[in-house]
Structure 1
Amino acid sequence: MLKTSFLRHVTASLAFACIATTSTYAIAQKNIIVSSTTSTEQSGLFGHILPPFEKKTGISVKVVAVGTGQALDIGRRGDADVVFVHDKVAEEKFVNEGFADKRIEVMYNDFVLIGPKSDPAKIEGGKDIKVALQKIADSKSTFASRGDKSGTHAAELRYWKDAGVDIAPGSAWYKETGSGMGPALNTASAMNAYILSDRATWLTFKNRGDLAILVQGDPKLFNQYGVMLVSAAKYPQVKKAEGQAFIDWLISKEGQDTIASYKVAGEQSFFPNAKK
């Protein structure tokens, strides 16, 4: 009798341990990887929006913050569940190549042209990015470029092209940093250089030195962010349900309100514009 009771106790204990382990494993698996930009990470946005999402859904989010080009490449390899970036042309190509079914717009802010207060190119107060870049090129004033195939870098290259400026390889005044937005701003600060930045990262940037916003307000500086669920048909390991839950929350009223509520020094950093 004692032996039977003991065996039942051991069997029950093992069964409980097995259930507990299985439950823990299931909870541990409720997570997603989001490949995104350094601007969303370094601006502090993810630190603001992820806690309420994770609390509501129980889905933990790991953000891999790189340039938009790299973020899309991570999605192309199937190493992320969701891609959240800001280069519409590249995003549409990603969809057309079959790596996602669709692209959904989430929010926007704008780019600003930063430069030293001494302003050797004489662009301060301007509202035309084309004219400003022409003056920087004509004066050969030092310009720090991210040079990292990010969304910001792609926008910068479009602006140079629109300005009719062909930057010769190895130009002494044009410095490619190959870095994220924060480190690139640090380089610009150290060199007293001009640089294109998203406004949100600039607002959170502390090491400004002699730098300030010199050009803003041009409609061409509009900066749209989009989100895509990586194709589960192409990559079966993609966590489709959890990834879609994150996207659905981003474009819901709660998610959009949470994005809108993120402010730095009292200034709103991102403006939700998901289509209802």
Structure 2
Amino acid sequence: MLGQKRTLGSILAVVLAGVLTACGGSAPPAAGPSAERSLILATTTSTQDSGLLDDLLPAFTQETGWGVKTVAVGSGQAIELGRRGEADVLLVHSPAAEEAFVAEGTAGRRLLVMHNDFVLLGPDADPAGVRGLPVGEAMSKIAASGAVFVSRGDDSGTNAKEKALWKDAGVTPAGDWYQQTGQGMGATLRVAAEKGGYTLSDRATYLSQPEGLSVLVEGDPGLLNVYHVIEMTKQAGERVQPEAGVAFADWITAPGAQQRIGEFGRAEYGQPLFVPDAGKPEPVP
């Protein structure tokens, strides 16, 4: 059954890890990953593009012995991988889609991890005149002006938020001015900058990959961006490793990882890129 199969890439990754260990001629250290302790994390491009995973995952492997194969896609695609039993754990930021998915009964715990916010970006000249406006009014003015808006169009958490903002503004985006990349946040930022267009981004990816765009709208309650970790169970597929999902969820919500999250980006950007939230009430707009 499709729901019980891993992707070919994930299988090859596990096999390759075993081959490399065998060829090394010596046993791996106790805390190191092995073919039997390699998990698949399906997560969003924002955690990858911001550099957060590069900071977190080596520490997770060192402390737990679980190696990690990361699949960085939009939140909708990450959830679909979980639904098909092709991931052990998810780290995503599309709350409505997450809640609907967990209600299906194939996932384990869904735990609050962190938040940051979305920002509306555009050229510094701001041809639509949206700087400093409430986000709903800004979206309406962009549509009315016909200024280029570049959407990810990839069913990601960011794309879901963008669609909700258009809906709240009473706009159905269509026409030459509305362009979709079908790509991740970093690539979409580059396209928006090249076209002198507007786009919606999570703040972390924008700060880590500035591409000639300016923050024009920020701080609006409707721009909150919340991340959860979701454990997968064998209800999704026999290949799922529930113990791996539990290990990752326990680790990323524990004080040590939460401290790392709270410090990430501070030295380089003068501010943390994410706010740790484990154990706190759910952030609400």
Say whether the fold is shared (TM-score over 0.5).
Answer: yes
Matched, 1:45 2:49: no
2:273 is aligned, of 262, 265, 269, to 269
8 A contact 1:113–1:195 mirrored in 2: yes
Q: Which residue of 2 aligns with 1:160?
A: 166
2:101 is aligned, of 91, 94, 97, to 94
3-state SS in 2 of match to 1:178: coil
8 A contact 1:109–1:222 mirrored in 2: yes
- 2 CA distance for matches of 1:27 and 1:50? 15
- 2 CA distance for matches of 1:101 and 1:50? 21
**1:261 to partner: Cα distance:** 1.2
Where do residues 65-214 of structure 1 align in structure 2 (5 Å cutoff)? 65-126=72-133, 128-168=134-174, 171-206=175-210, 208-209=211-212, 211-214=213-216
Where do residues 233-272 of structure 1 align in structure 2 (5 Å cutoff)? 233-263=235-265, 264-272=268-276
Query: Which one is further off, 242-251 or 193-202?
Result: 242-251
8 A contact 1:144–1:194 mirrored in 2: yes
**1:253 to partner: Cα distance:** 0.7
8 A contact 1:98–1:231 mirrored in 2: no
**1:266 to partner: Cα distance:** 2.0
Which letter does structure 2 place at the counterpart of 1:135?
K
Query: Percent identity, aligned pairs only?
Result: 47
Structure 1: segments with no counterpart, 5+ residues? 1-17
3-state SS in 2 of match to 1:102: strand
- 1 CA distance for matches of 2:106 and 2:125? 46
8 A contact 1:105–1:226 mirrored in 2: yes
TM-score (norm 1): 0.87
- 2 CA distance for matches of 1:39 and 1:234? 25
Query: Which one is further off, 62-71 or 93-102?
Result: 93-102
3-state SS in 2 of match to 1:200: helix
Where do 4+ consecutive residues of structure 1 move more than 4 Å? none
Where do residues 2-41 of structure 1 align in structure 2 (5 Å cutoff)? 27-41=34-48
- 2 CA distance for matches of 1:158 and 1:150? 12
3-state SS in 1 of match to 2:182: coil
Q: Which residue of 1 aligns with 2:224?
A: 222
Bigger radius of gyration: 1
**1:62 to partner: Cα distance:** 1.3
- 2 CA distance for matches of 1:101 and 1:88? 15
8 A contact 1:34–1:81 mirrored in 2: yes
**What is the total number of aligned residue pairs between the two structures?**
252
Which letter does structure 2 place at the counterpart of 1:77?
R
**1:159 to partner: Cα distance:** 0.3
